[in-house]
Amino acid sequence: MFCASPNPLVSSMWNLKPRALTISSSMEPKIPHVLSVAGSDSGAGAGIQADLKACAARGVYCSTVITAVTAQNTVGVQGVNVVPLDFVEKQLKSVLSDMRPHVVKTGMLPSTEIIKILCQSLREFPVQVFMKEALVVDPVMVSTSGDVLAGPSILDSLREELLPMADVVTPNIKEASRLLGCAPLETIADMRSAAKSIHKFGPRNVLVKGGDLQHSSDAVDILYDGKEFFEFRSSRVKTQNSHGTGCTLAAAIAAELAKGSQVPSAVKVAKRYVETALEYSKDILIGNGNQRPFDHLLKLKGSFCMPHLFDPQDLFLYAVTDSRMNKRWGRSMIDAVKAAIEGGATIVQIREKDVETRNFLETAKACLEICRSFGVPLLINDRIDVALACDADGVHIGQSDMPASIARALLGPTKIIGVSCKTPEQAEQAFVGGADYIGSGGVYPTNTKENNPTIGLDGLRTACLASKLPVVAIGGINASNAHSVMKLGLPNLKGVAVVSALFDRESVSTETRTLYELLAESTRVVS
């Protein structure tokens, strides 16, 4: 479990740079930015307030355009005051013309005129992330308490004007039913049919949320991209603290898209985040009604130690330890890990091939303590038993290890799972099995694995294009070739995994710092 007090010295490439590094501002990648266009919830469980908190929890900046001000609490909605059209337009122009968000996420759009102004504004100031339009539409129509927030004319505008511009639309089963003329949705098969029908309105992806689906023990969401269906399942958390889950899921998806994730991966990460927040918040008492808010930042229980939820940006500089190299340089694994983190490593994998389990476990526990003091996730290579015993943040497994699906069943929903993959088929199996990312390589020859065939930059490109998950490049990567890897400019290529270039050197911190700076510069050039 990761105690929620990360050291500001180390953070991901998209957030604040490590203070120990001296990187000029011109080298820093752009901060991912979501613009939320939605209504204000005075109870702060849904709407603009939920979007702000969800984006903050996912490490993304969020600006806002308020379309309506509501008076509501845990009992229901007591009043709605629509913001004048000309002022909505001014807000949109203010943000879009200056701050250039990567993704726009919509919530409550209380009039057809506001929808028209939004569409006009998006045509005047196109929003893109990695050269792709990015608009997430959460078609808010009815509040949790049953108050109608969108009439028939608004439904027509959504279908005819906004949905054709959307990258992702995220209706729950009630909203999907209304978009389709009140067609009943009672089964997962109905949800699939609805997603396919809504896709005909023009959005590139449709996510039908099944949290309200009756007679289902799991919370099942169905994603359709025009070619295939994806099914996402999570445990159904029994709680009254669920107000704003729809807004939050859509905002979290927008946040992951702003970081460059592909849609299936963004949905996977966002859904796991919401599930974790609901589980954490199920006993929090706020208000006297039945639609209570939950804690997006997992802070209200004070000393609670939250899991280090997977963030694709953690893969930026992935340090893989090697005890043999550390011995050559006369340092301990613990000292090596600390030096790598101080140099800018964003995630650490402990790899021990020739060490007894007891010693491996003791080393892992000591390294985990260091990683948590800096807010950096720690993974264990191959050994799920060691990961469970020391409560590491996750594992990285190879094709000869147990399948990702079994690893997920053993580790639970919050742990990080990575899988080494060389082929598109292996990448697809990793996604289906519940992995969070894949490691693809070896890109270049390496002396850490004998007789390991390389895939080269072309093979890495093929793997990235085939993968629905974030990718970290592995194998023979160092300061001389890392730029060539990152300048491929593929949206889901999130970083490089390095062994010898860091740990088979006299100064681990210096080598890590140098590589971090090079990667930051390469990413800035590509973006």
Q: What is the CATH number of the domain that holds 396?
A: 3.20.20.70
**Residue that is written with structure tokens 């007591």 in the block:** 78
CA–CA dist 285, 337 (Å, integer): 41
Catalytic residue, candidates 116, 233, 449, 461? 449
Q: Is residue 14 situated within a structural domain?
A: no
Domain match, 220 and 328 both: no
Q: Has 420 been annotated as catalytic?
A: yes
Per-residue model confidence (pLDDT) at position 151? 66
Per-residue model confidence (pLDDT) at position 509? 96
State which residues of the chain have pLDDT below 50. Answer: 1-28
Q: Is residue 29 situated within a structural domain?
A: no
Per-residue model confidence (pLDDT) at position 522? 84
Instruction: Confirm if 135 and 104 have CB atoms less than 8 A apart.
Output: yes
Domain match, 350 and 447 both: yes
Q: Has 351 been annotated as catalytic?
A: yes
Domain match, 217 and 325 both: no
Q: Provide the H-helix boundaries in 375-494.
A: 384-390, 404-411, 424-433, 456-466, 482-486
Per-residue model confidence (pLDDT) at position 308? 80
Q: State the CATH number of the domain containing residue 57.
A: 3.40.1190.20
Catalytic residue, candidates 12, 143, 281, 420? 420
Domain match, 79 and 178 both: yes
Contacts of residue 258, Cβ cutoff 8 Å, sequence gap at least 6: 32, 33, 34, 60, 101, 102, 103, 129, 134
CA–CA dist 223, 232 (Å, integer): 8
Q: Provide the H-helix boundaries in 221-356.
A: 245-258, 263-281, 323-328, 333-343
Last residue of a domain, one of 294, 327, 343: 294
Domain match, 276 and 327 both: no
The residue type found at 348 is V
Instruction: Confirm if 368 and 378 have CB atoms less than 8 A apart.
Output: yes
Give the structural domain span for 104: 34-186+199-294
Domain match, 267 and 351 both: no
| Tokens (6 digits) for 244 | 């704003």
Per-residue model confidence (pLDDT) at position 227? 95
Please name which of 502, 516, 498, 448 lies closest in space to residue 336, comparing C-alpha atoms: 502
Over 318-346, what HEC string results?
EEECCHHHHHHCCCCHHHHHHHHHHHCCC
Domain match, 170 and 72 both: yes
Q: Is residue 442 situated within a structural domain?
A: yes
Q: Rounded to the nearest 5°, which phi and psi values hold at 419?
A: -135, 135
Q: Is residue 19 situated within a structural domain?
A: no
Q: Has 116 been annotated as catalytic?
A: no
Domain match, 382 and 237 both: no
Domain match, 444 and 362 both: yes
Per-residue model confidence (pLDDT) at position 307? 72
Per-residue model confidence (pLDDT) at position 143? 58
Domain match, 290 and 321 both: no
Q: Is residue 285 situated within a structural domain?
A: yes
Instruction: Confirm if 292 and 74 have CB atoms less than 8 A apart.
Output: yes
Q: Is residue 363 situated within a structural domain?
A: yes
Domain count, the chain: 2
Domain match, 215 and 132 both: yes
What's this model's pTM, rounded to 2 decimal places? Answer: 0.85
Query: Per-residue pLDDT tens for 227-266?
Result: 999 999 888 888 999 999 999 999 999 999 999 899 999 9
| Tokens (6 digits) for 267 | 């949905």
Q: Is residue 159 situated within a structural domain?
A: yes
Catalytic residue, candidates 351, 372, 415, 494? 351
Q: How far apart are the first and last CA of the chain?
A: 34
Q: Is residue 95 situated within a structural domain?
A: yes
Domain match, 318 and 208 both: no
| Pairing mode of beta strands 218-224, 229-235 | antiparallel
